[in-house]
C-alpha cells in the first residue's frame, strides 16, 4: 500500500502569455496568446503527485496552503478537491489576496516568471500543525520556498521529529539556515539553486558532482540536482548516478521541476529505490514540457505508463577523493 504525501507550499493563479520571444527590458512584444491557469509550486507539486499516484491512490495527497478570501482562492480549493487532493487543512487569509504569477513563454518553451505572493507569504508555522499531527508514519513531506522560511523550517523540523522523510525543493533560489540540512532526507535543487547553496557554478556533470558533495557535507542524506534536458545528478552515500531525461521537443518548461518533485514523492511513497524514483520523475517531467501551462501540463499515471521503453540510469562510482569538497 503506497504511503501518504503531504505537500506544504504555495498556490497561485498563473497568467501566461506565449510569444515568439521574451521581451527585453522596456520592450513590448505583440502577438501573444493568453492563458490563465492554476499554479504555484506547492499546488503544482500536489497536483502532479495526485495525478501520478493513480486512481487506486486517490486522496493519498494532502495539501496545505494559504489563499485569499477571493474568487481565485475559492476556485483553487475546488480544483484541488476535483483532483482528489485532501484540502481540509487549507487556510484562508481574511486580508491578503490569493497569489498570482505573470509568466511569459517563448517559442522554444523558455519562460520568465514574476510572482505576487499574496496570502502565500502569510502562511504561519502553527497553521501547518494540524496536518502534521494527522500524518501517518510512512508519509513523504514535500516543500518548496514560496512560503515564509520560518514555516518551511518549522515543518521540516516537526516532520523529522515524527520520523517522516522530507523532500525540499529549494526554489525559488535563496540561502537556507545551515542547521536545516541534517533534517532533510532529500534536496532537489536545479543548477542555479545548487550554485547558490554551495557557492559552486554548476555547468556540467563534474561541477554538479562538486555541488552535490558539498550539500551532503552540510548534512543532507541524499541530493538530486536537476539538469533540465540532460536529466539529473543523483548523489547518495553509496553512489553517484547520472539519470538522463527522455529526449522530447519542449513546448513549455513551466513547472517541469514541480512535476519532477511531485512524481519523485509518489515513487518514493511506493517504495521505489531512489535511482528508479528519479528515473520515473524524469519521465514525468519530460512529458510535462510537451504541453502548455503549469498544472494543466501534469501527466496522469495512465499517460506515463503508455510511454514505450523503460527509463535508464548510468551509475558512476563515487570519487572518494572528492568527497571532502
Statement: residue 323 has pLDDT above 70: no
- Please tell me the pTM assigned to this model: 0.89
HSE at residue 24, side-chain half, CA atoms within 13 A, is 0
Structural domains in the chain plus CATH codes = 5-10+40-95+119-322 (3.40.1190.20)
Annotation-wise, does 66 bind a ligand? no
Q: Which of 14-18, 124-128, 178-182 has the lowest mean pLDDT?
A: 14-18
The residue with cell 517504495 is 271
pLDDT tens for each residue of 122-164: 999 999 999 999 999 999 999 999 999 999 999 999 999 999 9
32 is in an annotated binding site: no
Helical spans, DSSP H, in 6-135? 41-53, 71-82, 129-133
Task: Calculate mean pLDDT across residues 178-192.
Answer: 97
The gap from C-alpha 139 to its chain's centroid, in whole angstroms, comes to 17
Instruction: Let me know: does 262 contact 142? Beta carbons within 8 Å.
Output: yes
325 has a pLDDT exceeding 60: no
For residue 17, what are the β-bridge partners?
Answer: 34, 104
Band (311; pLDDT cuts 50, 70, 90): very low
- 9: annotated binding-site residue? no
- Phi/psi of residue 310, each to 5°? -105, 145
**b/e for 242-264, b at 16 or more Cβ within 10 A?**
bbbbbeeebbbbbbbbbbbbbbb
Residues 267 and 186: beta-carbon distance below 8 Å: no
Looking at the DSSP bridge assignments, the partners of residue 64 are: 8
Q: What mean pLDDT is reported for the chain?
A: 90
Active-site pick, 95, 106, 258, 308? 258
Does the pLDDT of residue 41 top 60, yes or no?
Answer: yes
More confident residue, 14 or 153: 153
> Which grid coordinates are listed for 164?
517522516
**228-269 tens-digit pLDDT:** 999 999 999 999 989 999 989 988 888 999 999 999 999 999
Residue 22, number of CB atoms within 10 A of its CB: 16
pLDDT band at residue 309 under the 50/70/90 scheme: very low
Structure-block grid coordinates of residue 48: 502532479
pLDDT confidence of residue 213? 97
What pLDDT was estimated at residue 59? 60
31 has binding-site annotation: no
| Whether residue 70 lies in the annotated active site | no
The annotation status of 44 as a binding-site residue, yes or no, is yes
Cell of 282: 524524469
Q: Grade residue 194 by pLDDT with cuts at 50, 70 and 90.
A: very high
DSSP secondary-structure letter at 292?
S
The proportion of the chain whose per-residue pLDDT surpasses 90, expressed as a percent, equals 76
State the CB neighbour count (10 A cutoff) for residue 161.
Answer: 10
Which three cell numbers mark 280? 520515473
pLDDT at 79: 95
Rounded CA Rg of the chain: 19
C-alpha cell of 190?
A: 536545479
Query: DSSP character for 276?
Result: H
Q: Look at residue 28 and tell me whether its pLDDT is greater than 90.
A: yes
211 marked as binding residue: no
Confidence category of residue 56, pLDDT binned at 50, 70, 90: low
Amino acid at each position: 500500500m503506497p504511503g501518504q504525501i503531504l505537500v506544504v507550499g504555495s498556490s497561485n493563479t498563473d497568467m501566461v502569455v506565449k510569444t515568439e520571444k521574451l521581451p527585453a527590458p522596456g520592450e513590448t512584444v505583440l502577438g501573444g496568446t493568453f492563458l490563465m491557469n492554476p499554479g504555484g509550486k506547492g499546488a503544482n507539486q500536489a497536483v502532479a503527485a495526485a495525478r501520478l499516484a493513480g486512481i487506486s491512490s486517490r486522496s493519498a495527497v494532502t495539501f496545505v496552503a494559504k489563499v485569499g478570501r477571493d474568487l481565485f482562492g475559492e476556485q483553487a480549493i475546488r480544483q484541488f478537491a476535483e483532483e482528489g487532493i485532501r484540502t481540509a487543512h487549507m487556510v484562508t487569509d481574511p486580508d491578503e489576496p490569493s497569489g498570482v504569477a505573470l509568466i511569459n513563454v517563448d517559442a522554444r518553451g523558455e519562460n520568465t516568471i514574476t510572482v505576487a505572493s499574496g496570502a502565500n507569504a502569510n502562511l504561519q508555522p502553527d497553521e501547518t500543525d494540524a496536518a502534521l499531527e494527522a500524518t501517518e508514519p510512512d508519509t513523504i513531506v514535500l516543500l518548496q520556498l514560496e512560503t515564509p522560511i520560518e514555516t518551511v523550517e518549522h515543518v521540516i523540523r516537526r516532520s523529522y521529529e515524527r520520523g517522516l522523510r522530507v523532500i525540499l525543493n529549494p526554489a525559488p533560489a535563496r540561502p537556507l539556515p545551515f542547521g536545516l540540512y541534517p533534517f532533510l532526507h532529500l534536496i532537489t535543487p536545479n543548477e542555479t539553486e545548487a550554485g547558490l547553496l554551495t557557492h559552486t557554478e554548476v555547468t556540467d556533470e563534474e561541477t554538479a558532482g562538486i555541488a552535490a558533495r558539498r550539500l551532503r557535507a552540510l548534512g543532507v542524506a541524499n541530493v538530486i540536482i536537476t539538469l533540465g534536458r540532460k536529466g539529473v545528478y543523483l548523489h547518495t552515500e553509496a553512489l553517484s548516478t547520472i539519470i538522463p531525461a527522455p529526449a522530447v521537443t519542449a513546448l513549455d518548461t513551466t513547472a517541469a521541476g514541480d512535476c519532477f518533485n511531485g512524481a519523485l514523492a509518489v515513487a518514493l511513497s511506493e517504495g521505489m529505490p531512489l535511482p528508479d524514483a528519479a528515473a520515473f520523475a524524469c519521465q514525468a517531467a519530460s512529458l510535462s514540457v510537451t504541453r502548455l501551462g503549469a498544472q494543466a501540463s501534469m501527466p496522469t499515471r495512465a499517460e506515463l505508463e503508455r510511454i514505450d521503453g523503460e527509463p535508464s540510469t548510468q551509475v558512476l562510482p563515487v570519487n572518494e577523493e572528492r568527497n571532502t569538497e
